[in-house]
Amino acid sequence: MATGLHADFDAASYPPYETCALCHGLFGQSRLDKFPHLAGQKPDYIQAQLDAFLAGTRTNDGGQMSSIVTELKPEDFAVVVAWFSQQDPPAPSDPPQGEPGKALVEAAGCLDCHSGNGDKTVPYLSAQHAGYLAKQMQDFREGRRTHSDAAALHQSLLTGLESGIDDIAAYLASVERPK
């Protein structure tokens, strides 16, 4: 049995956004649609979500975020927010076949709020993973995502949509995110 051995990894010596990068990618572009792209997202939105996870008012499947945010020191939040919000936005996906998603987005007025204008705590939905968007819309519709002031609005807009959610998500994923 060896004695005196220790790990040479010092997590505290790395920037705090590297903890987030394990799922969201170092530059905020995640590989898996389970994890949203954070690159180029509104800083106030990122901060609001970190606060909501820390307070326990927002949860996610598996509870990873609620656990991870407790690993960050309060002063780390500003570093994380600045890092990801200042990265180049992700590229949009290829446009879906046909335009059903575009028509649904326009009819619901999704981009009236989820664009570069208006409330800084409302996220960009453009150039996000379609799978992530569809999951979040399903969570709003089913009442599993309730932490925001707009939860009831989203629930009412999405009630009755089944295949339309996938169409909306595919279209939004194909729209370029503002810089």
How many Å from the N-terminal Cα to the C-terminal Cα in the chain?
Answer: 56
Chain-centroid distance of CA 46 in Å reads 8
111-126: pLDDT as tens digits? 999 987 878 999 999 9
- Tell me: do 104 and 137 sit in the same domain: yes
**What are the residue ranges of helices labelled H in 29-86?**
43-55, 64-68, 76-85
> Rounded to the nearest 5°, which phi and psi values hold at 166?
-65, -35
Final residue of a structural domain among 64, 90, 116: 90
What is the chain's percent helix, strand, coil content, to nearest 5? 50, 0, 50
- Tell me: do 22 and 83 sit in the same domain: yes
Predicted model pTM: 0.89
86-106: pLDDT as tens digits? 999 999 999 887 789 999 999
Would residue 9 count as lying in a domain?
Answer: no
Q: Is pLDDT of 7 > 70?
A: no
Q: How far apart are CA 164 and CA 111, in angstroms?
A: 16
